[in-house]
Amino acid sequence: MISRGKARAYSNIALIKYWGKRDEKYILPMNSSLSLTVDCFYTETEVVFSNSYAKDYFYLNGSLQDESATGKISSFLDLFRKAADIDMKAIVKSTNFVPTAAGLASSASGFAALAAACNVASELNVGLRELSMYARQGSGSAARSIYGGFVEWQKGTNERDSYAVPVDDAKWDIGMVIVVVNSNAKKVSSREGMKRTVSTSPFYRIWSDKAEEDVKEAKLAIKNRDFEKLGLITERNGLMMHATMLGANPPILYWEPESVLVMKMVKELRDEGISCYFTMDAGPNVKILCRMSESNRIKERLMEVFDEERIIVTGPGPGVVILAL
Ligand code: ADP
Ligand code: DP6
pTM over 0.85: yes
Residue 316 DSSP class: B
CATH T-level assignment (fold) for domain 2-170: Ribosomal Protein S5; domain 2 (3.30.230)
Ligand with the closest atom to the CA of 142: 2
Q: Note the pLDDT of residue 265.
A: 98
Q: Note the pLDDT of residue 75.
A: 98
Q: Using DSSP bridges, classify how beta strands 150-153 and 33-50 pair: parallel, antiparallel or unpaired.
A: antiparallel
Provide residues with CB under 6 Å of ligand 2.
Answer: 14, 17-19, 27, 33, 107, 139-141, 190-191, 281-282
Q: Note the pLDDT of residue 101.
A: 76
Ligand with the closest atom to the CA of 94: 1
The identity of residue 132, as a single letter, is S
CB atoms within 10 A of CB 97: 15
Q: Note the pLDDT of residue 141.
A: 98
Residues in the chain with pLDDT values less than 70: none
Ligand 2: nearest atom to the Cα of 13: 17
Q: Is 68 exposed, middle or buried (0-12, 13-18, 19+ CB in 10 A)?
A: exposed
Cα dihedral sign, 238-241-247-249:
negative
Is domain 174-314 annotated with CATH 1.10.1200.10?
A: no
Q: Note the pLDDT of residue 189.
A: 93
Q: Note the pLDDT of residue 99.
A: 86
With the most atoms of ligand 1 within 8 angstroms of its CB, the residue from 66, 76, 107 to mutate is 107
Ligand 2: nearest atom to the Cα of 195: 6
Q: Note the pLDDT of residue 112.
A: 98
Closest CA to 77 of 121, 15, 133: 121
CA 108 to ligand 1 centroid distance, Å = 7
Ligand 2: nearest atom to the Cα of 189: 3
Closest CA to 111 of 85, 165, 75: 75
Enumerate the domain spans of the chain: 2-170, 174-314
Provide residues with CB under 6 Å of ligand 1.
Answer: 43, 60, 72, 94, 96, 100-108, 110-111, 114, 139, 189-190, 282-283
Q: Note the pLDDT of residue 253.
A: 97
Q: Tell me how far apart the alpha carbons of residues 146 and 77 are, in angstroms, rounded to a whole number.
A: 17
